[in-house]
């Protein structure tokens, strides 16, 4: 995951404050802060946003594969993905029973 310097520092520091962050009073305070904020981006903001996905893998021989994907806003991407999966299931393109997403959807 690509993240800003500040986000990376806070993520590293969070391991030292795990118990404090899990405390009931801290959780209540954080919940109230979240609820006091806006409910999410507006339709216009979502249309202007995008999501950038990046993956990189290296095998034992040192060969690398890199993939980058630009998608709509994360909220819209979630809806579009859920609908696409539901359509494939309803069309009978997914076998019944347990499968990983890649097995079920051709990853």
- Report pLDDT digits (tens) over 22-70: 899 999 999 999 999 988 899 999 999 999 989 999 999 999 999 999 9
Spatial separation of the C-alpha atoms in residues 52 and 71, rounded to whole Å: 6
pLDDT at position 1: 62
pLDDT at position 38: 87
pLDDT at position 19: 86
pLDDT at position 50: 92
**Which 3 state secondary structure label does DSSP give 106?**
coil
Average pLDDT over residues 90-103: 89
Domain ranges in the chain are: 1-37, 43-107
Spatial separation of the C-alpha atoms in residues 29 and 49, rounded to whole Å: 29
Query: Which letter, b or e, does each residue of 81-105 get, where b requires 16 or more Cβ atoms within 10 Å of its Cβ?
Result: eeeeeeeeeeeeebeeeeeeeeebe
**Whole-model pTM above 0.85?**
no
């Amino acid at each position: 995951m690509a993240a800003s310097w500040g986000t990376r520092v806070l993520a590293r520091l969070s391991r030292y404050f795990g118990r404090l962050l899990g405390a009931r009073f801290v959780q209540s305070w954080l919940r109230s802060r979240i609820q006091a904020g806006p409910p999410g981006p507006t339709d216009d903001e979502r249309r202007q946003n995008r999501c950038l996905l990046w993956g990189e893998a290296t095998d034992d021989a040192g060969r690398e594969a890199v993939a980058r994907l630009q998608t709509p806003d994360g909220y819209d991407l979630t809806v579009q993905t859920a609908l696409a999966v539901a359509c494939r299931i309803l069309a009978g393109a997914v076998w019944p029973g347990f499968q990983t997403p890649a097995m079920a959807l051709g990853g």
